[in-house]
Amino acid sequence: MYASLRPSARLAAVISSKDFFDALTRAGISFYAGVPDSLLKDFCAYVTDHAPRSRHIITANEGSAVGLAAGHHLATGGIGLVYMQNSGLGNAINPLTSLADPAVYGIPMLVVIGWRGEPGHKDEPQHVHMGSVTIAALEGVGVPHAVLSDDPSAVQAQLAEAMQSVRARSAPYALVVRKGTFGKYALKSKEPDEFALTREQAIVRFVEALPPGALIVSTTGMPSRELFEVREARKEPHASDFLTVGCMGHASQIALGVALEQPGQQVYCLDGDGAVLMHMGGLATIGTLSPRNYKHVVLNNGAHDSVGGQPTVGFEVDLCAVARACRYESATSVSDDAELVQALADLASTKGPAMLEVRVRKGARDDLGRPTMKPADLKRAFMTHVGIDVDRLTRDG
């Protein structure tokens, strides 16, 4: 098989993002595209600070990044770098196999993948399975790969081998990055925060305004963590909340499925700007199906806050205008506490599908916890809450 390096022990992180970026530049890489990842956040931050914006595109999803790298090669002959978390590998498999593969067009690119859920390393439940099959997935689709060494003296040789493969095969090659490989680097080119509310403060107001019986589907990352903690602080049960701990970008469609089958209940999707942008076509499905009980609350801080704070284009596009164009009945944007309180009160009685965009500050408190309930228990509680006999389903198989 391919050169999958599996170091038996972890050393202290010693790979400098600057050194790696400089080595990539010497190797001929000058174009970057991808979706930020917590394991790659230091490297991604360095690229954000040091690559021209036209040469570093933070994409809506991982497949789009592969497409951008392909376009870069077609127009320049150059080789682009695509970065992603391994959970996003699924979004990239289609263009990697049906576009970039040497059996089709043969598009060369270097793919850098953060390895969440690496076997033998504790991680969140949504990363465990993908972590266990990441190497096998790359092997299964024929993408040569190596695990990036944490020894600086070995990285140059690995990079040379990777680029030789990319050029010789005119096809992708992947470098898989383990947790702690890159040294710390803080993003310097941050946009100033201009909004009064934190995301968690907005979620407190959201919970306070919920009508009786409302069901919630919350998006991946910080919003679900904060919703769980708000419920804990209020000593309220979690049974009406489905926390989408994985599958970024799909909370809106989960909520849509719930809304269609529970027409007598108000169904709220608590979403984020990065998640909406990742699969924005879902807005068209929501709008054209037009469930009257669907309420879409988008917490927009213009950043991928859960994975290092890299910017999205959330503040550069009009999400409410997009929602209206997709046949939402209404869409409103607010940015302060008084506006939010009034808008949430109005939303409860507004015909859906309706969107409320809440513009909030970046960041989260340092002591923010994680849900203490297992995903299986959260699922059971939610289904029981909506009237499903989960035990009978299990008995009937």
The pLDDT of 115-142, averaged and rounded, is 94
Q: Does residue 4 contact residue 135 with C-beta atoms inside 8 Å?
A: yes
Q: Based on the domain organization, do 130 and 227 belong to the same domain?
A: no
pLDDT value of position 12: 54
77 with 134, same domain?
Answer: yes
In a domain, 56, yes or no: yes
pLDDT band at 397 (very low <50, low <70, confident <90, very high): low
Residue range 229-255: mean pLDDT, rounded: 96
The lowest-confidence range among 21-25, 247-251, 264-268, 308-312 is 308-312
DSSP per residue, 292-355: TTEEEEEEE-SEEGGGT-EE-STTTS-HHHHHHHTT-SEEEEE-SHHHHHHHHHHHHTSPSSEE
- Is the Cβ–Cβ distance between 234 and 226 less than 8 Å? no
Count of CA atoms in the C-beta half-sphere (13 A) of 56: 17
Torsion of CA 257, 258, 260, 263, to 10 degrees: -170
Pick the closest to residue 211 from 248, 240, 173 (CA basis): 240
Domain of residue 100, residue span: 17-177
Q: Is the pLDDT of residue 3 over 70?
A: no
Do both 25 and 156 map to the same domain?
yes
- Range list of H helices, the chain: 17-26, 41-50, 62-76, 89-95, 125-140, 152-169, 199-209, 222-233, 251-261, 273-278, 281-289, 319-325, 337-348, 375-385, 390-396
CATH, residue 160: 3.40.50.970
The answer as to whether 96 is a domain residue is yes
Residues 62-83, mean pLDDT to the nearest whole number: 98
Q: Number of folded domains in the chain?
A: 2
Q: How far apart are CA 316 and CA 357, in angstroms?
A: 14
**Is there a cis peptide before residue 353, judged by omega within 30 degrees of 0?**
yes
**Do 159 and 253 have their domain in common?**
no
Confidence of residue 171 (pLDDT cuts 50, 70, 90): very high
Name the domain boundary from 127, 143, 177.
Answer: 177
In a domain, 397, yes or no: no
Answer whether residue 9 is part of any domain. Answer: no
pLDDT at 365: 87
240 and 366 share one domain: yes
Q: Tell me: pLDDT of 9 over 70.
A: no
**Are residues 232 and 118 located together in one domain of the fold?**
no
**169 and 44 in a common domain:** yes
Give the bridge partners for 147, in sequence order.
176
Is residue 213 domain-shared with residue 109, that is, in the same domain? no
Residue of 11, 10, 50 lying closest to 29 (CA atoms): 50
**Stretch 156-172: mean pLDDT, rounded?**
97
User: What rounded mean pLDDT belongs to the chain?
Assistant: 93
Dump pLDDT digits (tens) for 14-31.
Answer: 799 999 999 999 999 999
When pLDDT is averaged across residues 122-126 and rounded to a whole number, the result is: 89
Q: Residue 12: inside a domain, yes or no?
A: no
Domain match, 148 and 263 both? no
